[in-house]
Amino acid sequence: MKQLLTLARRSQIRLCLNQAIRLASSAVAYVSPFTTPATLSPPPPHILPYDNAAETVNSKLKKLENPDCRFLKYASPHPKLASHDHILSAPETRVTTLPSGLRVATESNLSAKTATVGVWIDAGSRFESDSTNGTAHFLEHMLFKGTERRSRRELEEEIENIGGQLNAYTSREHITLYAKVLDTNVNQALDILADVFQNSEFREARINEERNVILREMQEVEGEIQEVVLDHLHASAFQHTPLGRTILGPAENIKSITRVDLQNFIKNHFTAPRTVIAAAGAVKHEEFVEQVKESFTNLSSDSTSTSQLVDEERAMFTGSEVRMINDDLPLAQFAIAFEGASWTDPDSVALMVMQTMLGSWNKSVGGGKHMGSELAQKVSISELAESIMTFNTNYKDTGLFGIYAVAKPDCLDDLAHAITYAVTKLAYQVSEDDVTRARNQLKSSLLLNMNGTTPVAEDIGRQLLTYGRRIPTAELFARIDAVDASTVKYVANKYIYDKDMAISAIGPIQELPDYNWFRRRTYWNRY
């Protein structure tokens, strides 16, 4: 009985509410006699379900065209960015140019616990003369032998105490000093590099001591057959030009280099516009720039650029060969190279893809039968060589593109035929599948080589010296993806087809074909 009474009361309440709603709606629908007929809305037509859905979509589109500013205060469906470079270049490389011309570049990764700080100088062995060849490499050795503030022992102990690593190297176009330290020691590492770079002391006793060290290093390098072959290749390809000189220099120069020679090289080439201070890892750009301003104050602002120096004495490629027969060596080693592209030449990207297509192989690694490179497959299946390596070396005004090989004496003729066939084929027959595979391998290798703060810092310093900027990964990949089979054939016809080459060979090379044999196989008589 109680439940029936409760239900009756609820029904009465609902009835009252419905009546109230009807009264309210009738009051809203009442139109004043003073309103114009234009404000009266027509009766709603009969709307089908899909018509209703279409009207809903149209109403939403109108809202997007006229958005309510209250809901779009911090975001908008319409992008307003004029450039997405900072997104595509992430992680961003920030570059600041000081009034002296010194460039400071960083790539911050505050989650890292280490950092690499370095100095990259746009000067190397190609900027020496015949009488001073070897000065740049000699100077690299002397930079860590004591400064006005730190003795050699204090310098070594300071690096050891913070658990850091200090290193340097010299190439034909660059000199590099860098230190890898913990995130808490970045400022100290930068101070050490600034002291070494600006205030090194060149005492006669240290110079004579290091002279003997470099002469012993030269003997070790002469035992590295690959280094000797590539040095002879440069000397043959760029004979009588700066790139033909070795990095270490001849022994006569090492014995005669003086303190004045070292100081003159620093005065002429260690200038602010030709120097880059780069860091990667646990660094903050603003703080790093401020410390660079305080530490690097003794650099010359001479505006002479390396491009001006290169134009004064450009490298000229000469088709030629150099052979050193040595039957005491168990294996023959040789390299053949064509003139390549410079750093800034657009063809350099296509040559990188071609280098990947030809590939590299080593007998100790194995797996050549199933590699993407047709040359590697043929060499491994027929056992023509112990190893092969395709190289693509870039310089400011030229380059070298070729193959280095190590083989038994009785395999040289067949190996030479396989190499020339594979290289010349790039100008005639190229499949899209091979190019796609090479592009993917190239992009993968570029990313894998950027693992760690030291490779990143080296990449920043090198690219700022060669390109004047850091090329974002997205842009570089876009340039690689733009290379197709037709591009490869075009570039191969430009650099390989019926072109002179340089050859360097050492060992039991009596069976290696002569220069004319190689030159004849840079083209096919096919129509």
Please identify every residue annotated as catalytic: 140, 210
What is the identity of the amino acid at 355? Q
Terminal Cα-to-Cα distance of the chain (whole angstroms): 108
Task: Say if residues 289 and 104 touch (Cβ distance below 8 Å).
Answer: yes
Other beta carbons within 10 Å of 112: 15
Q: Which sign, positive or negative, has the C-alpha torsion 30, 32, 37, 41?
A: negative
Residue 272 is given by DSSP the state G
Rounded to an integer, what is the distance from CA 296 to the centroid of its chain?
26
Residue with tokens 């034909």: 172
Burial class from Cβ neighbours inside 10 Å (0-12, 13-18, 19+) for residue 27 reads: exposed
Between CA 136 and CA 168 the distance in angstroms is 12
3-state helix, strand, coil in the chain (%, to 5): 50, 15, 35
What is the identity of the amino acid at 177? L
| Non-local CB neighbours of 283 within 8 Å, separated by 6+ positions | 106, 108, 115, 117, 186
Closest Cα to residue 99, out of 296, 391, 263, 261?
Answer: 296
Between CA 103 and CA 452 the distance in angstroms is 22
What is the helix (H) or strand (E) element at residue 209, kind and residue range? helix 204-223
Cα distances (Å, whole numbers) of residue 264 to 100, 126, 261: 20, 15, 5
Between CA 51 and CA 445 the distance in angstroms is 56
Cα distances (Å, whole numbers) of residue 429 to 350, 424, 433, 496: 15, 9, 12, 14
Phi-psi region of 507 (alpha: psi -120 to 50; beta: other; left: phi over 0): left
Torsion of CA 395, 115, 164, 149, to 10 degrees: 80
Between CA 186 and CA 107 the distance in angstroms is 14
